[in-house]
Amino acid sequence: MSRLRHYACGSTTHDIGAMFRGEQRVVREFPSGVFLYDSDDGRRVLFDTGYVTGEWHTGWRGAAYRRLLPPRVTDADDIAAQLRADGVDPATVTHVVLSHLHPDHVGGIRRFPGATFVLTEGVLRTLAHPRLRSGVLPGLFPGWFASASRTVIADSMFRVTDVRGVEVRAVDLFDDGSYLVVDLPGHADGHVGALIDGSVLLAGDAAWGADLLDATARLRPLPRAVQHDADDYVRTAALLARLAAVGIRIVCSHDPLVSRELLP
Ligand SMILES: [Zn+2]
């Protein structure tokens, strides 16, 4: 039996009314989700890695980021610590898929030196030229990351794929349909999600929440301005809404989830 488990690795808080036009002014907590997929045949695939714990060592860029999106993170939020507490040796993780490179998604990379990292061409473009506007803090990446084992997904590798009548652009990571890396452009260059066992779509930061897909088109100017491509971001939210309508469970990285197990 395959399994998909969720771990919240730190969180941040935002006022929904300050982010979207037409929403109530309610401060909501946004946990940073990390997702572990265990396949039938022994692969262990992590989707994102959560916030970095401890000191960031990221200088003024890090200070600017933290002022805009103040993180709440303790040592207990570390993904490696949470996996161990759940009976999973972090060294047994075979692959780490990164949706994109923002600090709340890459903090735990340093815990997986033996894994193969699955990275898109767009993510590598960003890594090669990190700018403050792209929200990437080079200080968060361990020195060995540049030479880590990797699978690179080129832009040209995405194939139009039918998911219950909805067309998505996807790469079948293991050629068995269990793990589709799905192109979800807009939030960051090369941003991707993952469709697991044809039923659960890990959507990364394609939207602020599965319940906020409709609100995405009402994003206020500042949160809109920090998207890599705001028009693509709105189109991607509409795609997610169509997938939800045909019964795909959409799980955004910052959704609060009740249950750790995400597959039936
Ligand atoms: Zn992000």
Question: Who surrounds ion ligand 1 at CB < 5 A?
Answer: 102, 205
What is the model's pTM? 0.94
- The alpha carbon of 166 and the centre of ligand 1 are apart by a number of angstroms equal to 25
Q: Which amino acid is at 52?
A: V
pLDDT of 230: 95
- The alpha carbon of 259 and the centre of ligand 1 are apart by a number of angstroms equal to 23
pLDDT of 233: 96
Go through the domains of the chain in sequence order and give each one's CATH number.
3-252 (3.60.15.10)
Measured on CA atoms in the order 215, 217, 221, 223, is the torsion positive or negative?
positive
- The alpha carbon of 1 and the centre of ligand 1 are apart by a number of angstroms equal to 31
pLDDT of 28: 92
- The alpha carbon of 205 and the centre of ligand 1 are apart by a number of angstroms equal to 5
- The alpha carbon of 175 and the centre of ligand 1 are apart by a number of angstroms equal to 28
- The alpha carbon of 135 and the centre of ligand 1 are apart by a number of angstroms equal to 8
Lookup: tokens for 84: 């161990």
Taking the chain (264 residues) in runs of 10, the rounded mean pLDDT of each run is: 96 91 92 96 96 77 76 90 97 98 93 98 91 80 95 98 98 97 97 98 97 94 91 97 98 96 94
pLDDT of 243: 98
